[in-house]
Structure 1
């Protein structure tokens, strides 16, 4: 493990020092950064999968209550992630330029900035939690649990924000291993907390013996608490490592300003604001999709939620490679190496397409088993399997859009790709979904999604190959 870590650090140092890199070295560095990032992303989705599976055993109503607000929780997640990225991309550029002192200065200011931001966002979530299920058109039977789930999520949002910030900073410094390990730990903790919080005290048979297993019996509330407790533990560990042990970014033994400076906030806003607005409009579109699905009934809501969670296992490798792309492109541009940036961008995008094409095949073949793990309800399993198989055909092009977006984020240019995402989802996906849902039901909604993802991947590949996304950042890095 230490050998691989040292090799990764040596290869990243070659970028900062302007040394030539062979194609083999570039590929090996891309793989070394991508694999831990993929594991981290998969572990995050696995946590949602665990929640869905455990709650799914309680019945369709419990599953639908979480599924109803899932798009809104993703909206808040996305905005928090965007806020953290505005600072972590700056750090990647500064590390690439070899300016570690300024990188640590940005880190200090980011801690205060994102914590205050997430606190305000969490308070907004608390304020709307009571009315949200009704706004989304949820059945009255599931509104109470939906509201409670979202309330608990909102109360702990600042800890999730610090987790995003610490993980993003470590990844942009080239350390993919620690975030990966801690995200795996978060999954393990989530299982443990859920096991005791969701289910009531019951008799459990193990190795032929029966014993009494204590439990809180909180159901949906227990799933929410189990998740946020796991996030709190990991956020504390992640921030602790970042500020005390990270070779590039540790703050111990060094004085500095934590109050944000205008220039740092302005640059963060330049990167984060388009991303945040994009998450708002994209998740707004997902919420509109929920509104389209909600009248189709509880079975459709639950099947839609389970299928989204199941598909996440397929596309999360793309997001892992996207994280690696952001690091590689950010540090390469920070070092002023234009051609190396182009090679890394292409290598990561086509690697992502290959990996997700393979995952799409697995998703198509094993769709019944994947959905079956999360729910024993046959109607939900049948519908969830059919929509998941529709989506499998879009995975390679979905990968193109995911990883190319990570490339553009690494370059610090987020406005144009955000607008591309906005147009693709609102003009293509929602238009088709409104048209197809009345006649095809949930299958029509997912067919619209499949068509839109293929369109989105195409336009992102065109922008990637044109190369104009490098121009502004490359010129800045030379001044």
Structure 2
């Protein structure tokens, strides 16, 4: 079922305009979804590992990362938005069997995103110092938080090109290489963190006492370990996409630095709403952090841990969503809108089923999931309560994740971005501001659960309306 050759044959059926039956469509969805889900889970595990390692240093260290986490998501999201503007176009061209134009898009993407991320890095470094205080963090956690954010910023240029390369490979239907590299990134993160966060110490291995060297950098070590993992794997993705991918390789291509405006305009058309959405959504996360901050360091740490633990549940939705983007994009490029609609419905319902099942596991194992990350009982109880509230919203969260990915594959980003923003700002933050003073951290997560359920409902409406299929690029 998971043969790479079988996946290529099924993708070729889309590009050649052949009819696919239900079994073949489900097989192809599985071929692309499973590696992508594994990649998403390993990315989440990396966050989980960071939180667990830093959590062992105490609540103050955890709060130092938690206070700037939403801002790191903002800048990471902007790099993803920039990459998607080019990879969605590539998916359409690959679906039409036009690999020359797909490679042209890739070259334009490398140059445009490289320039973009240099500007982004400069902005990050300028705001790193005052950022924790702007977000409501105390003077006791601000220095560590600023160092963590500044180190993260330094990895952005390579991270951006790695994200672009990964997105381009996925647009071609190659989910396996990005997934394998994501697993490696998680392993490298563990190794780097282990030596960078903790000081030199004695550890027991199979009954033997071993002196384990360490840098003792604490919070800064967690940032540096993650940055190094990003850089190593980013270089690997760039190498594979540009030199090894049969659909995308640039080594035999004549390089031109002249801008090709049609591709750049289409990229802007796709990426600008996504980028604005990331800014506004991350801004909302920052406001949410500011709502949580007055509740104290225990609440900040518990909120951070609960977010990390919950992401283990919703990452499968993002993995299926990546498959949906590729399948819908290639189907539209091949001139098969009915096939695109069939893939859309199947991926959305599969995402809802998978995340519903995982939410049950999350509810039951919430004490263990939070307990791994912190020994502090006050933080544990707050985090467990938050996770169990959120479990009820996961199926509808899946609907919003995968339906948005379907829209993205069609190049439909403006209306879905507005839907996400309206739901986040008008529903979640309004409710959180009202409920937090009454119920504390539980109130913030009650607001989140209600909002995600609402968001899933409006995205299902968008899906069944069929309006996402009417968007034209070029």
TM-score, length basis structure 2: 0.99
Tell me, in whole angstroms, the C-alpha distance in 2 between the residues paired with 1:102 and 1:55.
46
Distance apart, 1:97 and its partner CA = 0.8
State how 1:10-409 maps to structure 2 within 5 Å.
10-409=9-408
Q: Note the alpha carbon deviations across 1:172-213, whole angstroms, 9 max, x for none.
A: 000000000000000000000001000000011111110111
Tell me, in whole angstroms, the C-alpha distance in 1 between the residues paired with 2:342 and 2:455.
22
The alignment partner of 2:361 has SS state of: helix
**Does 2:429 align with 1:435?**
no
Tell me, in whole angstroms, the C-alpha distance in 1 between the residues paired with 2:278 and 2:470.
25
Tell me, in whole angstroms, the C-alpha distance in 2 between the residues paired with 1:415 and 1:380.
39
The alignment partner of 2:3 has SS state of: helix
Q: Which moved more, 1:159-168 or 1:346-355?
A: 159-168
Distance apart, 1:307 and its partner CA = 0.3
Distance apart, 1:255 and its partner CA = 1.2
Distance apart, 1:162 and its partner CA = 1.1
Contact 1:325-1:348 at 8 Å conserved across structures: yes
Distance apart, 1:159 and its partner CA = 1.2
Distance apart, 1:472 and its partner CA = 2.8
The alignment partner of 1:140 has SS state of: coil
The alignment partner of 1:227 has SS state of: helix
Tell me, in whole angstroms, the C-alpha distance in 2 between the residues paired with 1:321 and 1:69.
28
Q: Note the alpha carbon deviations across 1:299-353, whole angstroms, 9 max, x for none.
A: 0000000000000110000000000000000000001101101100000000000
The alignment partner of 1:127 has SS state of: helix
Tell me, in whole angstroms, the C-alpha distance in 2 between the residues paired with 1:312 and 1:394.
13
The alignment partner of 1:369 has SS state of: helix
Distance apart, 1:112 and its partner CA = 1.0
Contact 1:105-1:257 at 8 Å conserved across structures: no
Structure-2 residue corresponding to 1:421? 420
Tell me, in whole angstroms, the C-alpha distance in 2 between the residues paired with 1:320 and 1:158.
24
State how 1:447-458 maps to structure 2 within 5 Å.
447-458=446-457
Q: CA RMSD in A?
A: 1.0
Q: Which consecutive unaligned segments of at least 5 residues does structure 1 have?
A: none
Tell me, in whole angstroms, the C-alpha distance in 1 between the residues paired with 2:257 and 2:39.
29
Tell me, in whole angstroms, the C-alpha distance in 2 between the residues paired with 1:162 and 1:253.
20
Do the aligned partners of residues 472 and 211 (structure 1) sit closer, same or farther apart at CA in structure 2, a change above 3 Å counting?
closer
Contact 1:15-1:332 at 8 Å conserved across structures: yes
Distance apart, 1:431 and its partner CA = 0.5
Query: Which portions of structure 1, spanning 4 or more consecutive aligned residues, are displaced by more than 3 angstroms?
Result: none
Q: Which consecutive unaligned segments of at least 5 residues does structure 2 have?
A: none
TM-score, length basis structure 1: 0.98
Contact 1:52-1:306 at 8 Å conserved across structures: yes
The alignment partner of 2:471 has SS state of: helix
Tell me, in whole angstroms, the C-alpha distance in 1 between the residues paired with 2:321 and 2:256.
31
Q: Note the alpha carbon deviations across 1:335-372, whole angstroms, 9 max, x for none.
A: 11011011000000000000000111111000000000
Q: Note the alpha carbon deviations across 1:388-434, whole angstroms, 9 max, x for none.
A: 10000000000000000000000001000000000000000000001
Distance apart, 1:258 and its partner CA = 3.9
